[in-house]
Amino acid sequence: MDAAGDEAAQPALAREGTYICTCYLTNLDYCHCSIVITQERARLVSPEALPLLKKQLEHRLAEVDLLAEAAKRQLQAHLDDISRAEQALRERQAEDQTHGE
């Protein structure tokens, strides 16, 4: 879509009311919101398509859960690294104080 098309879409989003931004993790510790999905009016779906739609949504939810868990593990690892570094610094400072006295 060109810039003029983007500008034309903005008033439409405002008229629709709220819209949802979905996230995907480009790097497990950086969340980049870029996909804007408008809150669409309910549409009729053929009964045959409902199981497929449900399965697609379940798979997407599972993907999001896996990415969130991976991000949590990585952040916890960073916190653990910081805690170890703080402990080493405290020990070094205590050692320096005992040698300085």
Which percentage of the chain shows pLDDT scores above 70? 56
Q: What six digits make up the tokens of 84?
A: 């170890």
Domain count of the chain? Answer: 2
Residue 41 CA to residue 90 CA, distance in Å, equals 59
- The boundaries of the domain holding residue 36 are 1-43
Q: What six digits make up the tokens of 34?
A: 């870029």
pTM above 0.75, yes or no: no
Q: Are 53 and 45 in contact (CB under 8 A)?
A: yes
Residue 32 CA to residue 67 CA, distance in Å, equals 13
Q: What mean pLDDT comes out for the span 67-74?
A: 93
Q: Are 21 and 35 in contact (CB under 8 A)?
A: yes
- pLDDT tier at 42, thresholds 50, 70, 90: low
Please write the tens of the pLDDT for every residue from 53-70.
889 999 999 999 999 999
- Taken as a whole, the chain contains a residue count of 101
Asked if 29 and 55 sit in the same domain, the reply is: no
Asked if 38 and 78 sit in the same domain, the reply is: no
**φ and ψ at 97, to 5 degrees?**
-70, -40
